[in-house]
Chains A and B, each alone.
Chain A
Amino acid sequence: DTEVTQTPKHLVMGMTNKKSLKCEQHMGHRAMYWYKQKAKKPPELMFVYSYEKLSINESVPSRFSPECPNSSLLNLHLHALQPEDSALYLCASSQVETGDYEQYFGPGTRLTVT
């Protein structure tokens, strides 16, 4: 199984809502990533978890809160978002953070903030 799954596929939320994005992999990977991708742009790294611990936070606003409850799951909690946060949010995983391993990407969650 080389699949990374993400739910939901689409999400529309108001600026006062609280919602969560979920990502799951069962490849035994110990590194998991959140990326944000705006239209016609490459992905931008947001967070990296390595062995369930936050390894990198690319100066992401606190309205985005990541969580890694176990080695297979990665969540992104959203609160008080702005319309400019509307984007495709991609989750990825790799065997470990260091070294040269492929990153496997999920299908993404298309987020619209109204």
Chain B
Amino acid sequence: KNEVEQSPQNLTAQEGEFITINCSYSVGISALHWLQQHPGGGIVSLFMLSSGKKKHGRLIATINIQEKHSSLHITASHPRDSAVYICAVKGGMAGAGSYQLTFGKGTKLSVIP
């Protein structure tokens, strides 16, 4: 079974700060997802990546396949970025399980004005 670890578990930042959330996994994967969940809300897919780097607005996601590690960066953070950020990986399991997502426990981000 793939183990997905996120750090930190909780993060408080001042508005405007640069934020990094890390994700590591134990077994090789086919893809890694970064998801965002606001309090009481549904989940939004931010990125899916299998190599390199992707950027969308103030969000940047990188992955290092050899090191089994990914980072999510938020530049110029804003209070509306306050949410739980979840890393999820696909693959690294036998059989049909390899098609399903294995989730990390999430990182709760609070951005203070």
Total A-B pairs in contact (CB under 8 Å)?
A: 47
Smallest CB separation, B64 vs chain A (Å): 18
CB within 8 Å of A: which of B46-73?
48, 50
Which of A48, A97, A102 is most buried by chain B, counting CB atoms within 10 A of its CB?
A102
Is B105 part of the contact surface with A, judged by Cβ < 8 Å? yes
Let me know if A100 is at the binding interface, CB within 8 A: yes
Q: Is the CB of B105 within 8 A of A103?
A: no
Size of the B side of the interface (Cβ < 8 Å), in residues, is 23
**Segment of A14-22, A39-47, A60-68, A78-86 in the binding face:** A39-47
Give A34 to B38 CA distance when docked, in angstroms.
Answer: 19
Interface bits A70-114 vs B (CB < 8 Å: 1, else 0): 000000000000000000101010000110111111111010000
Residues of B within 8 A of A110 (CB): 40
The 8 residue pairs across chains A and B that have the minimum distance between CB atoms = A42-B103, A107-B42, A105-B43, A100-B31, A108-B42, A102-B45, A102-B48, A105-B42
